[in-house]
Amino acid sequence: MLKTLTNKFSPEVIFTVTLPGQGLGNIEALAECSNLMVLNLSKNGIENIAPLKNLVRLRIVDLSENCIPNVDALGNCAELVNLNLEGNLIKGVEQLRGLKGC
């Protein structure tokens, strides 16, 4: 949307997004931030993290205090070194198996 409005903005230049406690539920716009490395979306209402699937440069991710049932979308994040999932709907190791590629 910013790119459309300004005709100057490019999501490829975003490396960090910090939006804790903003009541976010939809994060589809982040799918275009292909160089994103640091992401803090803690304390929102996020259920679906599929838009993060192709963000392979993610290194630090805080998705704590959301409604996320599994993390399969983060399976391609080979550079991931810090992941906070505290306070989500993840009930056990089965929901974390998608991370074995990290």
Q: What is the pLDDT along the chain (102 residues), one digit of tens a residue?
A: 555 555 667 888 899 999 999 999 999 999 999 999 999 999 999 999 999 999 999 999 999 999 999 899 999 999 999 999 999 998 877 777 777 777
Alpha carbon 61 to chain centroid, angstroms: 6
pTM for the model stands at 0.86
Spatial distance between the Cα atoms of 68 and 89, rounded to a whole number of angstroms: 5
> DSSP secondary structure string, 33-88?
-TT--EEE--SS-----GGGTT-TT--EEE--SS-----GGGTT-TT--EEE-TTS
